[in-house]
Amino acid sequence: MPGAYVALENGHVVEARGRVPGTACGELVFTTAYTGYEESLTDPSYEEQVLTFSYPLIGNYGVREERFESDRVHPRAVVARELTEDVVEWLEAEGVPAVDHLDTRDLVGGIREEGAMKCGIAVGENATPEDALAELERCPGMSDHENIGAQVSVHERETYLGEDVGDDKTVALVDCGAKGSIIDALVERGADVHVLPHDATEDDVEAVDPDVLFVSNGPGDPANFEAAQELVETYVGELPLAGICLGQQIIARALGGTTEKMDFGHRGVNQPVLDLESNQVVMTTQNHGYTVADPGELDVTQINVNDDTPEGLESDDLSVITRQYHPEANPGPNDTLGFFDDVLSMAPRKRLVLAD
């Protein structure tokens, strides 16, 4: 096996077993999910990050493309206690460096104590600690990736027609790194979904004449998605607005709110969320490193039980509804899927025109 080294921003260099050769750098983050590694590895929100799995065995049920959230692996590198051959072969085909046989409990504990940090990784027959340190030295911070949207977004409009389940709606989805299951959830409810680039213009939106403007999830700092924020500012009060994850943050910023970077974010399938109206708690799947600090003109309707950060924002007057977590990525229970019904219910019902 090739040698491998992980150089951390806190000064530590960890030796590991190399599984896929190469060099990489990125923000080191972790996920607590026991399952769903295919979904995590293809989630565009992990762009420019190095993903550490806290669960010790990754790959125990193989690799199935129907579980993918996008067309490629997004983390710059992968760290685990043990990777199966199926996952190693997949990452090798994708050209994504990977390491295992290191103490991921210690690594995750360090991230929890010190926060997400930059790291450099070097894997290969002649890899040295100095190679990993050189990768770390060149690694930018997440807020420095000013055009990260272009790395994960469609470059031209893509259209997905809704299933024939009744009253149809048209959704303009601003793709800041959208997961495929978000599109699926809307299509299954009869919506025609027009996926627009992250830097879509007002003309792009007008061309599809949507009933709802939806801002997707995605990677990085919401402050770097200025075009999407401008669209929200343009259409608030004119079209119903919805957003998930990064989309919630962008919409909040557009409506006078602020965002901030979290110490290590929320990543996993066991995040408890309290609905302030019903006083019910649901378990959610999450993947984000930024959060809304001030909701601006929006009302906080749901909070994270662990740290009180906003998980749901709404405004009846402005027809806005957002979620910080991923309603479509149910962690077992599917209590949160009703969000998509709520989104489509904001759109005015279309009148049927009967032929003579």
Q: 269, 33 in Cβ contact below 8 A?
A: yes
Token pair of 294 as six digits? 């001030």
pLDDT at 352: 39
Give me the pLDDT at residue 349, please: 60
Examine the residue annotation and report whether 12 is marked as an active-site residue of this protein. no
Rounded Cα distance, 177 and 340, in Å: 18
pLDDT score recorded for residue 330 = 83
User: Does the active-site annotation cover 94?
Assistant: no
Q: Confirm whether residue 218 is marked as ligand binding.
A: yes
Q: How buried is residue 306: exposed, middle or buried, by Cβ count under 10 Å (0-12/13-18/19+)?
A: exposed
Question: Cα separation of 123 and 125, whole Å?
Answer: 7
Q: How far apart are CA 220 and CA 46, in angstroms?
A: 9
pTM of the model: 0.95
Render the burial of 329-338: b for 16+ CB within 10 Å, e for the rest.
bbbeeebbee
Answer positive or negative: Cα dihedral of 225, 227, 229, 231.
Answer: negative
- Please report the domains of the chain, with CATH numbers, ordered by start residue: 3-140 (3.50.30.20), 148-345 (3.40.50.880)
Asked if 143 contacts 184 with a C-beta cutoff of 8 angstroms, the reply is no
246 annotated binding-site participant? yes
pLDDT at residue 351 in the model:
37
Q: Which of 245, 288, 311, 314 is catalytic?
A: 245
Cα gap 305→274, rounded to integer Å: 6
What does the pLDDT look like over 31-66, one tens digit per residue? 999 899 999 999 999 999 999 999 999 999 999 999
- Do residues 129 and 13 make contact, with C-beta atoms less than 8 angstroms apart? yes
Establish whether 289 is an annotated binding residue.
yes
From CA 123, how far away is CA 78, in angstroms rounded? 11
> Which residue is catalytic, options 38, 39, 311, 328?
328
| pLDDT at 168 (0 to 100) | 85
DSSP state of 351: P
pLDDT at res. 165:
80
For the chain, which ranges sit under pLDDT 50?
351-356
What pLDDT was estimated at residue 10?
95
* pLDDT number for residue 95: 98
pLDDT digits (tens, 9 = 90+) for 64-98: 999 999 999 999 999 999 999 999 999 999 999 99
Give the Cα separation of 2 and 83 in Å (integer): 15
DSSP string, 260-298: EEEEEEEEEEEEEEEETTT--EEEEEEEEEEEEEE-TTS
* Separation CA 280–CA 199 (nearest Å): 37
- Whether 245 is catalytic is yes
Residue 249 is labelled as binding a ligand:
yes
